[in-house]
Amino acid sequence: MTTTITKQFHVDHPVEETWANLTDPNKVVVCVPGASLTGQVDDNNYKGEVEMKFGPVKAKYDGLVTFLERDSATKKMKLKGVGTDSKGKGGAEMVMDGVLTEKDGGTDVNVTMEVNISGMLAQFGSRLINDVSNQVIDQFINNFKNQLAGKEVEGNLNAGSLMGGMVKGLFGGSKKA
């Protein structure tokens, strides 16, 4: 089960500063809701874990984060995360492409995320994966902006709001009919 999400956002910080944060594993990983770094293998490979709740299903992934590309000249980066559910219920893979371009003194960030989930989560979450991935990436963007602004980042994916949002979405509560 694979889903691809593309997002663009703007930050009021110079390209070089944004680039530094985006390519520093210690900074970028904490912006991913529920994620933390647990160790470094080498310059490009890091160990980490992600914990997420999809309604009743809680998944904790132990995994490896690899920088496949970090080109500071073109400001292009490619990041791959591979994780296995710690209870053996399945796995997840994520490939993120990021491109930075200068705009009005700030930076336009283009992110494409390809998320593949398998196992229990794919079974249960097939209807939720788009919503959840969108929520994850939105919260990532928010965290990333906050980090650049020197504010605190929210560590956990807010599962309550996630489910609430979905319920609202289902019943049209937050949308116009």
Partner 1 sequence: MIQCKTSKAIGGMGHSLKRKEDDRFIQGKGNYVDDIKLPGMLYMDIVRSPYAYAKILKIDSEAAMKVPGVVAVITGKDLAQYNLHWMPTLMSDTQMVLPTDTVMYQAQEVCAVIATSRYAARDGREAVRVEYEKMKPVIDPYKALDPGAPVLRTDKEGKKDNHIWNWKVGDKEKTDKVFETADVVVKQQMHIPRIHVASIETCGCVADYDKVKHHLTMYMTTQAPHAIRTVIALVAGHVGLSEERIRVVSPDIGGGFGGKVPVYPGYVIAIAVSFLVGKPVKWIEDRTENLQADSFARDYHITAEMAGTKDGKILATRFKVLADHGYTDASANPSKFNTGLFSIATGSYDYGTSFMEADAVYTNKPPGGVAYRCSFRVTEAVHAIERITDRFALAVGKDPAELRMQNFIKKEDFPWKSPTGWTYDSGDYHAGLQKAMDAIDYAGLRKEQAEKRKKGELMGIGISTFTEIVGAGPSKDFDILGIKMFDSAEIRVHPTGKAIARFGTKSQGQGHETTYAQIIAEELGIPAENIQIEEGDTDTAPYGLGTYASRSTPTAGAAAAVAARKLRDKARKIAAYLLEVSEDDLEWEPGKFSVKGAPEKSKTIQEIVFASYTNHPQGMEAGFEAVHYYDPPNLTFPSGAYICVVDVDKETGAINVRRFVAIDDCGHIINPMIVQGQVHGGLTQGIAPAMYEELIYDEDGNILNGTLMDYLVPTAVESPKWETGHTVTPSPHHPIGAKGVGESPTVGAPPAIANAIVDALSPYGITHLDIPITPFKVWKALQEKGVK
Q: Which residues bind partner 1 (CB under 8 A)?
A: 1-2, 84-91, 116, 118-120, 122-124, 126-127
Question: For residues 78 and 89, which CB has a smaller minimum distance to partner 1 in the complex?
Answer: 89
Closest approach, Cβ 126 to partner 1, in A, equals: 5
* Sign for the pseudo-dihedral over CA of 83, 40, 52, 151: negative
| Sequence letter at residue 93 | E
Q: How is residue 174 annotated by DSSP?
A: S
Question: For residues 29 and 115, which CB has a smaller minimum distance to partner 1 in the complex?
Answer: 115
Is the distance from CB of 55 to CB of 25 less than 8 angstroms?
Answer: no
Joined together, the tokens standing for residue 159 give 């599962």
Question: For residues 1 and 95, which CB has a smaller minimum distance to partner 1 in the complex?
Answer: 1
10 Å CB burial of residue 162 (0-12, 13-18, 19+) is: buried
10 Å CB burial of residue 81 (0-12, 13-18, 19+) is: buried
Closest approach, Cβ 111 to partner 1, in A, equals: 24
| Sequence letter at residue 26 | N
Closest approach, Cβ 88 to partner 1, in A, equals: 5
Cα–Cα distance, 40 to 60 (Å, whole number): 19
Closest approach, Cβ 87 to partner 1, in A, equals: 6
Question: For residues 13 and 89, which CB has a smaller minimum distance to partner 1 in the complex?
Answer: 89
Is the distance from CB of 132 to CB of 53 less than 8 angstroms?
Answer: no
Closest approach, Cβ 154 to partner 1, in A, equals: 29
What does the chain come to in residues?
Answer: 177
Question: For residues 65 and 92, which CB has a smaller minimum distance to partner 1 in the complex?
Answer: 92
